[in-house]
Structures are given as structure tokens and as C-alpha cells.
Amino acid sequence: MNTRTQKVPSSHPAVKGFKPVIAGGVINFFLVIIKISAGIAGNSYALIADGIESAADIFSSFVLWFGLKVASKAPDKDHPYGHGKAEPIAGAFVALALVGAAILVVVQSVHKIMTPHPIPAKFTLYILGAIILTKQVLFSYVMRIGKKINSTALYADAWHHLSDSISSAAAFVGISIAIIMGPGYESADDWAAIVASVIIVINAYKILRPSIAEMMDTAPSDSIIKEVKEIAIKVDGVTGLDKCYVRKMGFDYYVDLHVEVDGNLSVYKGHDISHRVKDAILNAMPSISDVLIHIEPKRIQNKSDETQKQDNIS
């Protein structure tokens, strides 16, 4: 039974991820103009630095869109397991882009601290407030879609929006201190930009780690493996289970399962059992794209089939 389709439908998880990525890119485009313009007019480098990061976000959004586009392609001769790895690769790129933006902000902030400049204008606080609210809404929206389609890339994009919100909040605090405390505290918003950069790097690590884990075929949570085993052991003719490996490939999971059956059965009956196990898993777990079953012969002796099953799964 071939579970892979040759044409990707509009309901494919990657296709569903296009909308939030494009929306984020468009919003970031306008935020770049607003942040940099307000930062220059209001003497706030923290706001300018925020705008520089948003400019990098536009490129990141394009990379995410491209990654999802590639991940949505159906399996072919050169990629029999599909193109799902493009998705965590895009997520890893976003994380590295965050680190690069944070380094740039730190370098420029240190330069501004050493260079005398006026206290930021009050109106920059209102702009930052609106930016924080916008980014929080984007974070919630993208994270919700990411969880729905189980997308590593969208998780990365959501955390990227949250990082923007945090850096804007740090700038808000820094500017507030500079305005309240007055002369001598002009660089408060520059220090705030440095603090925000540290937070951004921490979030980048949180994004990068699961992306690398997926590219390295790290095993998913035990709950998925447990569910696979519970479904398989209930199939009539299965006497026990041996190895069970599960890996995530883009939006889907692939299973390698060793199933034990009565060694006295014919090859035909053993093959039939393997198909019934595969169908049972695929029907019960839509997130699993394919199951490879390996039949292990086991000689049944005095115990009943049900008792033998429990002995082998435990």
C-alpha cells in the first residue's frame, strides 16, 4: 500500500504555513520603515537597532517561505522520503540570522554608548508600545498555526516575533529611564539594546536546538513511540514487538517497526499481518506518513496468544 501522493494538495501543512510567513514579512516591511524613521527622528538607537533586526526578519521570512515551498513538494526519485528536511533547515537559518542581528546590534550599541547623543524623544515610547502589541499578536498567531501543522520552521518564526517584542520592550524600558532620569542617562536605551541582544541570542538557541535535532533524526517524544506500540500489539496475529524507531521528516513521522509473529505461519500470512499493522497505525495516527514493518518469527509454545503479547511488549 503506497501512502505517498504525487501531488501536494492545498491542505498540505506546508501550504498552510505560507499565509503566516507572508503576513509576517509584509508587517515587518512596514515596521522597518516606522522603526528606523522614528529612531532617527527621535534620537533612539535602540529603535533603529530594532528596525535593522526587522529588516533581517524580511529576509528570514523569504527563507522560511522558500523552505516551506520546498518541504511541500511530493517525493520523487532523488528524494523518496520527500523534501521535509527543508523545513528544519529553514528554521535553523532563522536562528542563525537572529544571532547575526544580535551581534550587529551589540556592536552598534557599544559605538553609540561611546558617542554623546541626545535623550530619545517621548513619542518613541508610543511607537514602541504599538510595535510590542503587534509582535505579540503575530507571535500568538504564528505559534498557533505552527502547533496545528507541527512545523519546526513556524515555531522558529513565532519565537522570532517574540524576540522582536522582547527587544522592543527592552528599548521601551531604556528610553523611559533616559527620559525620566534626564542628562547623564542618554545611553540607557543603548544599554537596553545590548540586553535585548542577549535575550535574542538565548531565543535563537531555543530555535536552533530542535531544528538541529530534527535534521539529525533525533527520536520524538516517548508518547508517540508508545502509541505506535499500543496500536500494533492489538492487531490479531501479533505476538510481540521488538524494535520501534520513529523519526520526524518535515511535518510527518516515519516508523520502522519489528513485529513478532508465530514462526509457524506461512510467508503469506505473515505478510498479511504486517499490512494490517501498518494500516492500523496509519489510520489511527494521521501524523505518520509511512510505516516499514519487519516480521520476526517467534515460536509459540504453551502460553496463550494474549499472555504472550503482554510478555513481549513489557
H helices of 182-255, in order, are: 188-215, 222-233
What pLDDT is stored for residue 13 in this prediction?
A: 61
Give the domains, in start order, of the chain with CATH numbers: 13-215 (1.20.1510.10), 222-313 (3.30.70.1350)
| pLDDT computed for residue 228 by the predictor | 92
Residue 263 has pLDDT above 60, yes or no: yes
Q: Cβ of 116: how many Cβ atoms within 10 Å?
A: 8
Handedness of CA 215, 219, 222, 225 (dihedral sign): positive
Query: How far, in Å, CA of 131 to CA of 44, rounded?
Result: 15
Q: Which three cell numbers mark 313?
A: 511488549
> Using alpha carbons only, what angle is made at residue 248 by residues 75 and 161, rounded to the nearest 5 degrees?
100
pLDDT tens sequence across 210-235: 788 878 877 777 888 899 999 999 99
**Which strands sit side by side in the sheet containing 238-249, from one edge to the other?**
238-249, 252-262, 288-298
- What is the pLDDT confidence band of residue 4, given thresholds at 50, 70 and 90? very low
Measure the CA–CA gap between 213 and 218, rounded to whole angstroms.
Answer: 5
Is residue 129 helix, strand or coil? Answer: helix
129-174 tens-digit pLDDT: 998 999 899 999 988 888 887 777 787 788 878 878 887 888 888 8
Coarse DSSP helix, strand, coil percentages of the chain, rounded to the nearest 5 percent: 65, 10, 25
- Residue 126 one-letter amino acid: Y
Residues 260, 237: Cα–Cα separation, whole Å: 9
For the whole model, what pTM was predicted? Answer: 0.63
